[in-house]
Structure 1
Amino acid sequence: MQHELITDATLVSNYIKGDERAIEILINRHKQRVYSFIYSKVFDRDVAEDIFQDTFIKVIKTLKLGKYNEEGKFLPWVMRISHNLVIDFFRKNNRMPKFSNTGDFNIFSVLSDSSLDAEKSIIKNQVEKDVRRVIEELPDDQKEVLIMRMYNDMSFKEISEKTGVSINTALGRMRYALINMRKIIDKHNIVLTN
């Protein structure tokens, strides 16, 4: 029987029964999806690789201990594990603010607008407390837009409605906020790790 035709559930059950090859097939089957998800959060190949390895170590341990719930789908379960490990990574590195309004706050959500792609490197992998310090130095109108976008995950349409300015003005303020952050980071010699 070809590997593609074997369901995840069958492979999981075969692995639990002692078929070591089954876990290899499962890892290869979902590798791209899980790794891409992790990388999209941490923007660092080495870190993504580590978290990816840790995810499957945890998967293997849980399966070996017989604690896997068959009713759950395998991939969403693996994604949840990797998501939790990403959050742990940010917490350990003090790079994640403790906001109660969302469980999976993502510092990079600010960069999800395609118009801001060029500025990705500004905030990428920046230590959270440095980012906060830098934000404090921004002019109020730029700081307001940045915080609404980054911490409240508001769309530019929502920001425009809340602040009473056009979407273009809100986008412009965001762009200037990022440019100014770059200058402040340079001024303070804050190291941006790649």
Structure 2
Amino acid sequence: MEAQVDDSLLIKKYINGDEKALETLIERHNQRISCFIYSKVNDRTITEDIFQDTFIKVIRTLKRGTYSEEGKFLPWVMRIAHNLIIDHFRKSNRMPMFHGNESFNIFSIMSDEQLNVEGQIIKNQIDTDLGVLIAELPQDQKDVLMMRIYRDMSFKEISENTGVSINTALGRMRYALINLRKIIDQNNIVLTN
């Protein structure tokens, strides 16, 4: 098995024109970054958008030559993703403005979902636990599961991205789910909210 090339070496290769080096970095950290973003936004489309925006910022920084966090690539990318998540919520969840109404009640504009902090904490914990369980799967099954569940890709798209037939992608998904159920049963885990 070939030794894994260090992130900092891949960054240097990319800066020197090796586009494949960036692909390797994205593939290497795709799952952790996607899971992190999804755990915060709970929406596959928004997760994909923020993931792409994150790597657009990474590429711009690397091409400008202003990246200087040697050996700390993943924490740096996670910080970029985190900042973009905050930006997303600032843009999309602005509080409505009410003028001239002294009897304004914050509860009249917030849904029960927003007020149920305990439910959100439980959901975040379940998402985190599920991420840990998924990490135990074989890489090929994990990749298909992540593409299907978190990136909402069709099996045709998964087939094209992984270079395997649609039937193989379907099989990997089936085995991923079977193996997840086994892991859940063996550890007596309850994934309900």
TM-score under structure 2 normalisation? 0.50
Higher normalized contact order (CA 8 Å, seq sep 6+, divided by chain length): 2
